[in-house]
């Protein structure tokens, strides 16, 4: 029997409690053992909720109870989640978390600490909500040299872009509606500026290469500049626009960025609509695999935390090895990355454009007084030089 | 250091050898230990291949070598693969296999045998080639009550259907071309009649519910009756046609079938083209997750075998628990399954059709002298009764 404590009875914490309760029989059957919630830590009271029976207000009770072997950190935020996690690991209790900020900031240290105390620090729920991606990277793809990871890692922005595409609406209109429906936060910056996706690709890239990516090294562009005119061009190209969080290994160089991309139907990520997330991994032996599902939401996220709990229960007294060293993974400047670019400029002759950009595919009659074109492949720095030379660029979106 | 023997140096076996060799450094880094191929068993000689150095012709050498802790069974076929697997497990050596026939036929027995000898029997590569699906079912989804599994599990048929759709060609034409290109076998029956997909959904369903599904209980229809006219109707519906291998849990009943389905773009499986495979799992807590990738091919399949090898190396002397009991999982007759049906009949009035089938959505002007319609939801048995009453059904395809 494995005894568990849940830290925080908010959205995810109460979800973990619910998953463990509702699917008790299934879990016991698969694990061959029972998982019991012994404590739920929260400052509040929940009088009409059965959780009240196991509710405690003092972390010391959990830390001092040798019966508790697994702790679910579903508080969010850096403090006191960080201190509680450290103390739990030091007490030999495995910690399973959905706390992306903490993982991104302190992952290598907490993994090391878990190792030193023969327990585990697992964080499947920190990226992609209910989508299995951290565990597949650690197990199913352990034999692979990862060539690239491309993710739709933020449900809010994918929902906004999907609505802009299907209903022809402006960014601001869709954002306002998404906020009304609770799909977007009142302060949506972390989502729409790409910062949330950036933290997540930073975690995935660290795991893929075993060294620590500083998310500040990742060039990050949000979706605030995307307009319905951009979608009109995309439609003409038979494409759509997605916010991609991407990292690529090329020889001994690593590139990473978060930015909107023009995406064609040939890419399996093209079909990922609404609040769904997906991660496409390209590996040197098995080729492309994709992982798709709900990137957020109470039960999806909680379900991923419970998957980690079961993994810990299967490995009591053992450290589940995750290669993520403190050594920094050098992210190369984006300048050298090669791709095509979709560019909008005030109405111009093809000759005039090709004089600067080389051969392009031109799109006219989409919006008054302007045209759009897709360049051949070139480096980011080469694009920037040409754009500066041409002058008067209305907008640019990278092409996948 | 883990020492491995590979049984059979055919397509998959030589792929396993290649993956372990080419990705040696990556694997050592992630595992924190080295994996060495000590033996490759094959009756043939491979004089100009470095494998010759470790080539043996006698299984006894492998069984008697206590250093070998993991055996990759990549021979295929039932005999002697079955006997070799049993003897390896009895000797306490874990076995990792791509042999779908053996897994489907003897899974529960071989898992029990592994358990009795503190080793493991793993078979990620037996379903979905390079797509992680067996391990996610066992680990990432261990907390889930699985409500349904829908798979595109056969690359040959998906390739044929994709080509029929995009190029408007007849089934026979595409099949002949696929055979020329090596995408279809000379005797393609196992693929085009749905038998291969049936074995695979049988394995996945057994794992989802922990009991043994007899694949003979699964109603199986292939794609040989699908025509370009069907695709013309599908196009008019904004849909496509896919061969689905499907199992559903409804209350305490289990349904399973393999059959072509009309699929709309809202289904994430809609976008799975060509030889790619994908598995969509619907679970009671986390909702839908999908796993996508190469369903076959030397390196993709080999890569999945090596993922299992690493898992065994991480768990030396320990049995990796897989719940798949010998007890039979009762598959309910398809009669009670509820869905919509796409039906083609000789030209008829809507009133005439609705008189028998109830309300339908009618499609005309697709082919001369006939029309097509989609029924409301009804049971399979109810559909059959109505179809018998109406008489003269040209074709029927289920609607997802």
State how beta strands A94-97 and A68-73 pair.
parallel
Nearest by CB to A311, from B139, B300, B303: name it. Answer: B139
| CATH number of the domain where residue B184 is located | 3.30.360.10
d(CA A107, CA A212): 9
**Given B93, B200, B249, B294, the catalytic residue:** B200
Give residue B181's pLDDT band: very low, low, confident or very high (50, 70, 90): confident
Q: What ipTM does the predicted assembly reach?
A: 0.96
Size of the A and B interface in Cβ pairs below 8 Å: 191
* Nearest chain A alpha carbon to B146: A26
Residue B347 C-alpha, separation from nearest chain A C-alpha, in angstroms? 36
Residue A201 lies in a domain: yes
Last residue of a domain, one of B246, B281, B314: B314
Question: Is the Cβ–Cβ distance between A160 and A184 less than 8 Å?
Answer: yes
Q: C-alpha distances in angstroms, B13 versus A178, A391, B71, B74, B287? A: 52, 57, 11, 5, 36
Enumerate residues 6+ apart whose C-beta is below 8 A from B119: B69, B89, B92, B93, B94, B95, B312, B317, B319
In this structure, the answer to whether residues B156 and B256 fall within a common structural domain is yes
Residues A135, B130: C-beta atoms closer than 8 Å: no
Q: How far is CA B138 from the centre of its chain?
A: 16
Question: Is the Cβ–Cβ distance between B266 and B346 less than 8 Å?
Answer: no
Q: C-alpha distances in angstroms, B257 versus A134, B199, B333? A: 32, 11, 10
User: Cα A379–A381–A384 angle (5° rounding)?
Assistant: 110
d(CA B306, CA A191): 38
In this structure, the answer to whether residues B241 and B280 fall within a common structural domain is yes
The neighbouring-strand residues paired with A71 are A5, A95
In this structure, the answer to whether residues A158 and A108 fall within a common structural domain is no
Nearest alpha-carbon partner for B73 in B132, B120, B133, B139: B120
* Nearest chain B alpha carbon to A138: B30
Residue A385 lies in a domain: yes
Nearest by CB to B140, from A32, A132, A265: name it. Answer: A132
Q: What percent of chain A has pLDDT over 90?
A: 99
Residue A24 lies in a domain: yes
Residues B293, A289: C-beta atoms closer than 8 Å: yes
Nearest alpha-carbon partner for A165 in A223, A205, A81: A223
Question: Is the Cβ–Cβ distance between A15 and A301 less than 8 Å?
Answer: yes
CB-count exposure of residue A256 (10 Å: 0-12, 13-18, 19+): buried
In this structure, the answer to whether residues A112 and A198 fall within a common structural domain is no
Residue A135 lies in a domain: no
Structural domain that includes position B176: 137-294
Dump pLDDT digits (tens) for B57-72. Answer: 999 999 999 999 999 9
The predicted structure's pLDDT at residue B301: 97
Contacts of B277 in chain A (CB under 8 A): none
In this structure, the answer to whether residues B288 and B193 fall within a common structural domain is yes
Contacts of A286 in chain B (CB under 8 A): 130, 293-294, 299-300, 303-304
In this structure, the answer to whether residues A279 and A348 fall within a common structural domain is no
Residues A139, B287: C-beta atoms closer than 8 Å: no
Residues A289, B130: C-beta atoms closer than 8 Å: yes
| H/E element, B86 | helix B81-90
Residues B142, A210: C-beta atoms closer than 8 Å: no
Report the predicted TM-score, pTM, of the whole model to 2 decimal places. 0.97
pLDDT at residue A354 tops 90: yes
pLDDT at residue A66 tops 90: yes
d(CA A396, CA A241): 12
Nearest by CB to B285, from A19, A30, A139: name it. Answer: A19
Residue A37 C-alpha, separation from nearest chain B C-alpha, in angstroms? 14
Strand locations in B120-233 (E): 121-122, 146-152, 219-220
Residue B325 lies in a domain: no
Mutation for A interface: B70, B140, B146, most A CBs within 10 A: B140
Residue given tokens 């250093």 in the structure block: B67
| CATH number of the domain where residue B370 is located | 3.30.70.260
d(CA B90, CA B93): 7
Dump pLDDT digits (tens) for B337-367. Answer: 999 999 999 999 999 999 999 999 999 999 9
Residues B307, A271: C-beta atoms closer than 8 Å: no
Residue B322 lies in a domain: no
Average pLDDT, chain B: 97
d(CA A345, CA A133): 40
Mean pLDDT in residue range B171-194: 94
Question: Is the Cβ–Cβ distance between A302 and B134 less than 8 Å?
Answer: no
Centre a 10 Å sphere on the Cβ of residue B23 and count the other Cβ atoms it contains. 22
Dump pLDDT digits (tens) for A197-246. Answer: 999 999 999 999 999 999 999 999 999 999 999 999 999 999 999 999 99
Nearest by CB to B270, from A271, A287, A292: name it. Answer: A271
In this structure, the answer to whether residues A185 and A249 fall within a common structural domain is yes
Enumerate residues 6+ apart whose C-beta is below 8 A from A21: A37
Provide the phi-psi class of B210: left if phi over 0, else alpha when psi is between -120 and 50, else beta. Answer: left
Residues B142, A31: C-beta atoms closer than 8 Å: yes
Mutation for A interface: B286, B298, B300, most A CBs within 10 A: B286
- Provide the token pair at B364: 């005309």
Residue A19 C-alpha, separation from nearest chain B C-alpha, in angstroms? 7
Nearest alpha-carbon partner for A134 in A258, A308, A317, A270: A308
Residues B291, A292: C-beta atoms closer than 8 Å: yes
Catalytic residue at B200? yes
In this structure, the answer to whether residues B107 and B192 fall within a common structural domain is no
Mean pLDDT in residue range A54-67: 98
Residues of A labelled catalytic: 200
Return the exposure string of B159-169: e unless at least 16 CB atoms fall within 10 Å of the residue's CB, then b. bbbbbbbeeeb
Q: What percent of chain B has pLDDT over 90?
A: 99
d(CA A286, CA A145): 10
First to last CA, chain B: 49
In this structure, the answer to whether residues B274 and B159 fall within a common structural domain is yes
Nearest by CB to A303, from B30, B144, B290: name it. Answer: B144
Question: Is the Cβ–Cβ distance between B81 and B98 less than 8 Å?
Answer: no
Dump pLDDT digits (tens) for A103-135. Answer: 999 999 999 999 999 999 999 999 999 999 999
Residue A327 lies in a domain: no
In this structure, the answer to whether residues B109 and B246 fall within a common structural domain is no
Residue A172 lies in a domain: yes
Dump pLDDT digits (tens) for A242-296. Answer: 999 999 999 999 999 999 999 999 999 999 999 999 999 999 999 999 999 999 8
Residue A385 C-alpha, separation from nearest chain B C-alpha, in angstroms? 38
State how beta strands A253-263 and A395-399 pair.
parallel
Mutation for A interface: B285, B287, B313, B329, most A CBs within 10 A: B285
Dump pLDDT digits (tens) for B160-173. Answer: 999 999 999 999 99
Contacts of A152 in chain B (CB under 8 A): none
d(CA B27, CA A142): 6
In this structure, the answer to whether residues A72 and A112 fall within a common structural domain is yes
The number of domains in chain A is 3
Contacts of B14 in chain A (CB under 8 A): none
The predicted structure's pLDDT at residue A105: 96
Contacts of A323 in chain B (CB under 8 A): 29-30, 32
The neighbouring-strand residues paired with A262 are A241, A399
The predicted structure's pLDDT at residue A50: 95
Contacts of B147 in chain A (CB under 8 A): none
Last residue of a domain, one of B237, B262, B294: B294
Contacts of B292 in chain A (CB under 8 A): 268, 288-292
The neighbouring-strand residues paired with B37 are B4
In this structure, the answer to whether residues A168 and A100 fall within a common structural domain is no
The predicted structure's pLDDT at residue B263: 98
pLDDT at residue A145 tops 90: yes
| CATH number of the domain where residue B309 is located | 3.40.50.720
Give residue B118's pLDDT band: very low, low, confident or very high (50, 70, 90): very high
d(CA A70, CA A355): 64
Contacts of A210 in chain B (CB under 8 A): 29-30
Report DSSP state, residue B385: H
d(CA A171, CA A164): 7
Question: Is the Cβ–Cβ distance between A207 and A140 less than 8 Å?
Answer: no
The predicted structure's pLDDT at residue B182: 84
Residue B274 C-alpha, separation from nearest chain A C-alpha, in angstroms? 11
First to last CA, chain A: 49
């Amino acid at each position: 029997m494995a005894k568990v404590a849940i830290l925080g009875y908010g959205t995810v914490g109460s979800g973990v409690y619910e998953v463990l309760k509702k699917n008790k029989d299934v879990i016991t059957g698969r694990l061959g053992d029972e998982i019991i919630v012994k404590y739920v830590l929260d400052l509040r009271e929940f009088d009409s909720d059965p959780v009240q029976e196991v509710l405690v207000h003092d972390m010391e009770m959990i830390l001092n109870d040798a019966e508790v072997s697994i702790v679910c950190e579903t508080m969010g935020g850096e403090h006191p989640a960080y201190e509680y996690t450290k103390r739990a690991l030091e007490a030999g209790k495995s910690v399973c978390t959905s706390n992306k900020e903490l993982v991104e900031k302190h992952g290598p240290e907490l993994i090391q600490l878990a190792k030193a105390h023969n327990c585990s620090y697992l964080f499947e729920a920190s990226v992609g909500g209910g989508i299995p991606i951290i565990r597949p990277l650690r197990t199913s793809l352990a034999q692979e040299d990862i060539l690239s990871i491309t993710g739709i890692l933020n449900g809010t922005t994918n929902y906004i872009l999907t609505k802009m595409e299907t209903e022809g609406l402006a960014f601001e209109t869709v954002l306002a509606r998404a906020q009304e429906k609770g799909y977007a936060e009142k302060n949506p910056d972390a989502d729409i500026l790409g910062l949330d996706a950036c933290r997540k690709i930073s975690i995935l890239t660290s795991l893929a290469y075993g060294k620590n990516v500083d998310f500040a090294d990742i060039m990050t562009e949000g979706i605030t500049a995307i307009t319905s005119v951009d979608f009109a061009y995309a439609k003409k190209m038979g494409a759509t626009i997605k916010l991609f969080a991407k990292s690529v290994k090329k020889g001994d160089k690593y590139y990473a960025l978060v930015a909107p991309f023009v995406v064609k139907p040939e890419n399996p990520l093209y079909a990922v609509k609404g609040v769904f997330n997906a991660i496409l991994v390209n590996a040197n032996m098995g080729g492309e695999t994709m992982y798709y599902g709900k990137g957020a939401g109470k039960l999806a996220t909680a379900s991923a935390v419970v998957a980690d709990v079961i993994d810990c229960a299967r490995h009591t007294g053992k450290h589940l090895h995750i290669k993520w060293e403190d050594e920094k993974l050098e992210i190369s400047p984006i300048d050298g990355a090669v791709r095509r670019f979709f560019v909008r400029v005030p109405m111009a002759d093809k000759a005039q454009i090709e004089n600067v950009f080389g051969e392009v595919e031109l799109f006219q009659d989409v919006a008054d007084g302007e045209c759009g074109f897709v360049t051949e492949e070139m480096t980011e720095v080469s694009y920037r030089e040409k754009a500066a030379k041409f002058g008067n660029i209305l907008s640019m979106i990278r092409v996948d």
